Amino acid sequence: MTPKKLWRWLAAVIAISFAVLIFYGAEIYRKIPPIPDKVVTTNGTVVATGQDIKDGQNVWQSIGGQTVGSIWGHGAYIAPDWTADYLHRESLLLLDELAKKDGKIYKQLSDDEQAKYQVLLKKEMRTNTFNEKKNEIVLSPERAKVQEQLAQYYSKLFMNDPSMAKLRDQYAIPVNTIKDVERMAKMNAFFAWSSWVCITERPEDDVTYTNNWPHDESIGNTPPPSLHLWSGFSILMLLACIGLLVFYHARNKEEEVNEMLPLEDPLRNMKPTPSMKATLKYIWVVALLILVQMLAGVITAHYGVEGSGFYGIPLDQFLPQSVSRSWHVQLAIFWIATSWLATGLYIAPAVSGYEPKYQKLGVNVLFGALLIVVLGSLTGQWLGVMQKLGLVDNFLWGHQGYEYVELGRIWQILLLVGLILWLVLMIRALLPALKRKDGDRHLLTLFTLSSVAIAMFYGAGLMYGRQTHMAIAEYWRWWVVHLWVEGFFEVFATVVAAFLFTRLGLLKLKSATNAVLFSTIIFLAGGILGTFHHLYFSATPTAVLALGATFSALEIVPLVLIGYEAYQNYQLSKSSKWIQAYKWPIYCFIAMCFWNFLGAGIFGFAINPPIALYYIQGLNTTAVHGHAALFGVYGILGIGLMMFVLRGLYPDRQWNNKLIGWAFWLTNIGLFVMVTISLLPIGIMQSVASIKEGYWYARSAEFMQTDIMHFLRWMRVPGDILLALGELLLVIFIIGLKFGWSLKEKR
């Protein structure tokens, strides 16, 4: 297929996919569960106001939000999912109140009599009592009383009641996480409303706003038929598209490797420009951020076994788990993104052979701006969680409470400005090459478009406000996490890798161009609408579930031939003597292929079908996929791109292969050991518990604090040590390029 036809297909895929994504985004907005003006009892007593619920959402965000347990399954893993926890506790208390209303004690009743109240419980909790005319949610006095009891329970937990000390430790929640009674009352209103959404059936429907999630048979939350239907359909789509892809590949297979290999390194004599040299400081910062992120990860993992400290040190009073986890996740995104941005700044002048005026100054200004955003956002998150900011100031400068976009709104805006500056620097350096009508124009155009997407799609995180309905905020948040991080960064990386291999003379330009365009089409065909697979149970209509299930399955299709790509990269690493200088960057690409297959492919698809995610969303199975995909794919790829840049900045000397080799193997083996020996067994055991007993149980302290769970959490240590040693050696290697110990004889 010609590049012209491939471009048409790519344009059609993007246009149609985004049209559907936006249309059903409007459907989510139209069918969101209501936030009422008031929550009242049948006798007119006001339980809470809509403003209490909105303010309560902001209070929850201020303590770390999705870094302290989860809501609707999205968030951290040490504390419970508060919606599931709330519903289970509410159902037990409400059974007692319903029986007491008839002058009976529920626990003393026979099974037949208890069955009667279980039916009444489901009717009480699942009936939609929202009065649209008055914009009120109406509760029975019994349910209102139960919610008051739960408010007292959560107040004791999040404030300073001594009787909750053990449970706080198990949940890694510091004493006085919330210091103000009024704030606590508002967060209780938010907990009650977000749980009401999970158990209340949609008007004229027999499933709840969250498609009967979380699983809890005692209150009638069981998987609806739509979950089975679309799960089966997604698997059929996957099989069909795999067959078509293999057929296409067999029919159109070209020998991509260039048979006329250069006799020496084509890039060796390329002189780095001043702006290209200026990217070295980015790599040094990446090395520093890797170490800090690793330390934050160690602290966060330890909170799983010692929730109030670090080997006896009361660390939670100075660095709570919600802060360490936020830093761990945010720093991962920062260092991975920075490595890729540095690669782009290095590649642009290299490709065009043109250094624009003041380009080095722009690279240095961008570097300073990135430092300000990183340090400022991390400081703001700490101030927010430590309750040193008001609710408005926390949203602007502190902790937004949403996973992966934790940084305050001001820092978000500044980061977007930085990305736009990066885009300007890229385009001005690429303009001469874009104007040329040579064979590079297709790759250059796609490279430019992916750069535009990286700069602009982060702006989706600005589409929700401080008190935006959570279902809408989740929709836009996943635009950032899925489309920005998992989508256009991957397209960018694919194009950069193709550039590097063609510039080295290892791949034919025509075949590389066609391969990149085709890969982009296949990936975005599933990837754009695959965004919906994160929203199955986030108070979205069934159509979103159907689309998410169908298209997220297609995300796996490009990974079918990943073994071929890895083998081809391995062949390239052996193709010529001079290519040995690029051994470790190429090995990073090979490792990326492995983690793409395992982390994004196997572990990703294991949790993608709706019926699977219904039981295991937010369990450690998600952490397995997250670590293997975010670090294994994007992190390792970022390291590989850095290695290419460093090779160009130090062109005349061989590397210390022993040092970088140990770093490479320890990092990858450590990640594999950590994921498979600790996180995966915990996730599997939680999945079984969720299916048998209910989702609330799989996340409860009762289950998670058993001896076997403690043992499995401690089993992270061997993998963590190997991974940490690998990252440390990587940093030592990068520093050694400057001071000499990572350099050997001349090439």
Give the C-alpha separation, 201 to 338, whole Å. 45
Output the pLDDT for position 254. Answer: 56
Question: Among 210, 191, 253, which residue's Cα sits nearest to residue 39?
Answer: 191
Assign domain 227-251+281-649 to its CATH architecture. Answer: Up-down Bundle (1.20)
Give the C-alpha separation, 370 to 498, whole Å. 27
Please, which pLDDT band fits residue 563 given cuts at 50, 70 and 90? low
User: Across all residues in the chain, what is the average pLDDT?
Assistant: 92
Output the pLDDT for position 263. Answer: 72
User: How many Cα neighbours within 13 Å face the side chain of 64?
Assistant: 28
Lowest pLDDT segment from 28-42, 147-161, 299-313, 378-392:
299-313
What residue spans in the chain does CATH classification 1.20.210.10 cover? 227-251+281-649
State the pairing for strand pair 38-41/653-655: unpaired
Those residues whose C-beta lies under 8 Å from the C-beta of residue 540, and which sit 6 or more positions away, are 28, 31, 471, 475, 532
Please, which pLDDT band fits residue 505 given cuts at 50, 70 and 90? confident
CA triple 658-662-665, angle to 5 deg: 135
Looking at the DSSP assignment, which residues form a beta bridge with residue 75? 70
pLDDT tens-place string over residues 443-474 = 888 889 988 998 888 999 999 999 999 999 99
Output the pLDDT for position 232. Answer: 93
CA triple 22-612-227, angle to 5 deg: 60
Please, which pLDDT band fits residue 487 given cuts at 50, 70 and 90? confident
Those residues whose C-beta lies under 8 Å from the C-beta of residue 76, and which sit 6 or more positions away, are 66, 67, 68, 69, 70, 321, 322, 325, 403
3-state secondary structure of 209: coil
Please, which pLDDT band fits residue 500 given cuts at 50, 70 and 90? confident
Please, which pLDDT band fits residue 261 given cuts at 50, 70 and 90? low
Averaged pLDDT, 650-663: 92
Question: Among 690, 702, 622, 700, which residue's Cα sits nearest to residue 215?
Answer: 690
pLDDT higher than 80, residue 252: no
Looking at the DSSP assignment, which residues form a beta bridge with residue 407? 399
Find the DSSP H helices in 138-224: 141-158, 165-171, 181-199
pLDDT higher than 80, residue 265: no
Give the C-alpha separation, 710 to 715, whole Å. 9
pLDDT higher than 80, residue 379: yes
Choose between 34 and 234: higher pLDDT: 34
Please, which pLDDT band fits residue 323 given cuts at 50, 70 and 90? very high
Please, which pLDDT band fits residue 245 given cuts at 50, 70 and 90? confident
User: How many Cα neighbours within 13 Å face the side chain of 317?
Assistant: 5
